[in-house]
Amino acid sequence: MTPLPPTGAIPARSAREARHVAIACFLGWMLDACDFFVVLFTLDNVARSYAASIEAVLLAPTLTLISRPVGAYLFGRAADRYGRRPILIAAILSYSLVELLSALAPTLGLFLFLRLLFGVALGGEWGVGTALTMESVPPRWRGMTSGLLQAGYPAGYLLASLLFLLLPVLGWRGLFVLSASSGLSAIYIVLFVKESPEWLARHRVAAGG
């Protein structure tokens, strides 16, 4: 394993750049939590749509939680190799795409399979987003920033609760399509978020730079 270079060799991020990272990762946590809770809130509607029992549809959140560690491992390994920023973008786009495909799933079996894949992307977003944030913000911000990221989960619950008010108008499939717009947060990362300075420094050392 290549040792981390001395602290002085790691380029510092400006306060503005660090804030962009924290905001982007908070949005990622909030929006993927929103997508997850939308499923929980609409279980009855999904079951009726597929003429299935509620017990069968309850497999959806279970599969999501079971597959989350798989995503943490796969996306985490990829982030170590290719960088935090591009893999975080990939994770966000992945769970947004799966959410959209879930809205279009014609059968319960396909719906459950997609929720399994959603868990993989969900686990990837959480881990990679945390790594990018903690490696980018100043050390004195890390306690506060970790709390901010954790707050993304209840914020996602609140957002899903507000979206649920639109259920009579949009139906559960429409809610899934709407929540899939969480992928737009990747645009914020593309425009405003830079790669982890620690990752850049480590890979410069590995490359002999």
* Contacts of 202 by beta carbon, 8 Å cutoff, 6+ apart: 2, 4, 5
pLDDT of residue 150: 86
pTM score of the predicted model: 0.88
- Render pLDDT for 116-152 as a digit per residue (tens, 0 to 9): 999 999 999 988 999 999 999 888 888 888 888 889 8
Ranges of each domain in the chain? 14-206
- Render pLDDT for 58-88 as a digit per residue (tens, 0 to 9): 999 999 999 999 999 999 999 999 999 999 9
Q: Are 60 and 39 in contact (CB under 8 A)?
A: yes
- Render pLDDT for 148-197 as a digit per residue (tens, 0 to 9): 888 988 999 999 999 999 999 999 999 999 999 988 899 999 999 999 99
- Render pLDDT for 90-100 as a digit per residue (tens, 0 to 9): 999 999 999 99
Between 34 and 7, the higher pLDDT residue: 34
CATH architecture of 14-206: Up-down Bundle (1.20)
pLDDT of residue 8: 44
> How many Cβ atoms sit within 10 Å of the Cβ of residue 151?
13
